[in-house]
Amino acid sequence: MDRSKNKIGLWSAVGLGVGSMIGAGIFALMGQAGAIAGKAVYISFILGGIVAAISGYSLAKLGARFPAAGGIVEYLVQSFGVNVFTGGMSVMLYLVSLISLALLGKAFGSYSAALLNLKGSLIYTNIFALSIIALLGIVQYFGVKKVVKFQNVAVIITIIILVTFAIVGLIYIKPELMAPALYPSSNKILFSIALTFFSYEGFRVITNTAEDIVNPEKNLTKAIFISIGITMVIYTALAFAVFGNLEIDQVLEAKDYALAEAARPAFGVFGFTIISIAALFATSSSINAVLFATNNIAYQMARNGQLPDFFANPIGKTREGLVISIVLTVFLILFLDLLQIAAIGSITVLFIHAITHLGHLKLLNKTKASKLLVVLALITTLGVIVLFLIYSIKDSYTILILSGGVLALSFLIEFLIRAITKRKVDKTSEGIFGEIFR
């Protein structure tokens, strides 16, 4: 069989990345980021995009040199070896992927309920959320080509609607609502970068296509930069459209569907409906992309012995890990606190990226990446973590404690899997943490 026929092209990879980012960033996190950065949230989106692009450079170089379905899971193993440390970090990445799916599922459910005038109904929100997760699981059952086809259609529809809204929103913008005098302190803008970075985090989904993309050495970096660039322009324009037409109080009141509410001044009820429909396409495409990446992460971990072997067993044109991931996501959807999970997800993902960049420094002779840019990726990622924790701790230690809990849970799961499977640490590992955890 000619495997090249099943390869993903550059623009399909870009669609996968844009789709996964837009669903999370605009429809699930605009209100939360705006609550911190206020009218200056567009600056935060630009800075978050820059941090994501720098981080994306490092991941793209790793992906081109080590093309694997598991993406970051493989890069950690290449850097630190197969041991408890990489196992725990991989489990953490898998958990974060499930959290992202649940967050997006809830966002889809919230917009569905709002569109049908069922706002505030947790039961209907969960029903819609579970339904879209199940539906896209069926799509992925039929293989990667079906994933890409769905993604391309959903992304095109979403971008057309959002670009139209952004243009009209900018035409109707009230300049006085965006006056610099209304901006919060620069500290708050910096504090919010963690959330806006999380809105770009979907770009790493592209690294999970490394085994399937045409010419990964060339197209992986291109796909990441192009998708982040497109998304940054859309985010910035929409931030102006939203905060240039609504007062801060109005945005916060409708933070779960802020974009739809911002369409009312120009389009009325029709605008609210159209943007809500765009939200459904955007969040579903994001779920589709993240579910695809999560399945690949689980597969790579099973191959590395970091998850039970049955995660890699074939089922249809996919793997059993897909079914297990969907079941676990169902439980998260039913018990999630969206705001806290968004914050925890942001911190955890940033931490994983930082460790990946640290490991990349050991592999520069293999990836041929710029040492300066990789170090810059490490420093900016750690800086964003520190800034957001400082902001969070001012109110309470909840985010810090829960983030630490995710870290502890990840390693507990890793130790349990090792105990159950009687798996040993690779004695030949050259990982710098290998000796510590053997």
- Summarised one tens digit per residue, pLDDT across range 121-157 is 788 888 999 999 988 888 777 765 655 666 667 777 8
* Residue 427 DSSP symbol: T
The per-residue pLDDT for 355 is 95
Q: Which residue has the tokens 């086809």?
A: 149
Q: Which residue has the tokens 């550059």?
A: 10
Q: Residue 424 domain-assigned?
A: no
Is 241 in contact with 262 (CB distance < 8 Å)? yes
Q: Residue 147 domain-assigned?
A: yes
> Helix 338-360 to helix 398-421 angle, to the nearest 10 degrees?
60
Q: Residue 402 domain-assigned?
A: no
Residue 101 CA to chain centroid, in angstroms?
9
Domain range for 379 is: 7-397
Residue 126 CA to chain centroid, in angstroms?
21
Proportion of the chain above pLDDT 70, given as a percent: 87
* Residue 396 DSSP symbol: -
Q: Residue 315 domain-assigned?
A: yes
Task: Give the separation between CA 282 and CA 162, rounded to whole angstroms.
Answer: 10
Q: Residue 383 domain-assigned?
A: yes
pTM of the model: 0.80
> What is the total count of domains within the chain?
1
Q: Which residues of the chain have pLDDT under 70?
A: 1-6, 23-25, 28, 119-120, 143-152, 254-257, 316-318, 336-339, 395-396, 422-438
The CA dihedral of 395, 401, 406, 410, to the nearest 10 degrees, is 160
Is 373 in contact with 361 (CB distance < 8 Å)? no
Picking from 230, 260, 20, the residue whose alpha carbon sits closest to that of residue 119 is: 260
Q: Residue 171 domain-assigned?
A: yes
| 84: helix, strand or coil | helix
CATH number for 141: 1.20.1740.10
Task: Give the separation between CA 279 and CA 254, rounded to whole angstroms.
Answer: 14
Picking from 345, 163, 151, 185, the residue whose alpha carbon sits closest to that of residue 236 is: 163
Q: Residue 364 domain-assigned?
A: yes
Q: Residue 426 domain-assigned?
A: no
